[in-house]
Amino acid sequence: MAYQASEKRYGSMLYNRCGKSGLKLPAISLGLWHNFGSRDVYDN
């Protein structure tokens, strides 16, 4: 038996606009990139 995701799975998710681009991101994802992974040095 294969998993079948509901077609309404994104209907109740809260989205926030990202800057002036109009890109809509799930509210839970804003800031998560900062919490995981190592710290990189970008000095030239």
pLDDT tens, residue by residue, 5-28: 999 888 888 888 888 888 888 887
Asked if pLDDT for residue 34 goes beyond 70, the answer is: no
| The token pair that represents 33 in the structure block | 């990139």
Q: What is the predicted pLDDT for the residue at 30? A: 55
E strand or H helix that includes residue 17: strand 15-18
Residue with tokens 């998993």, as numbered in its chain: 3
Asked if pLDDT for residue 3 goes beyond 90, the answer is: yes
Q: What is the predicted pLDDT for the residue at 37? A: 62
Instruction: Tell me the CB-side half-sphere exposure of residue 28, using CA atoms within 13 A.
Output: 4
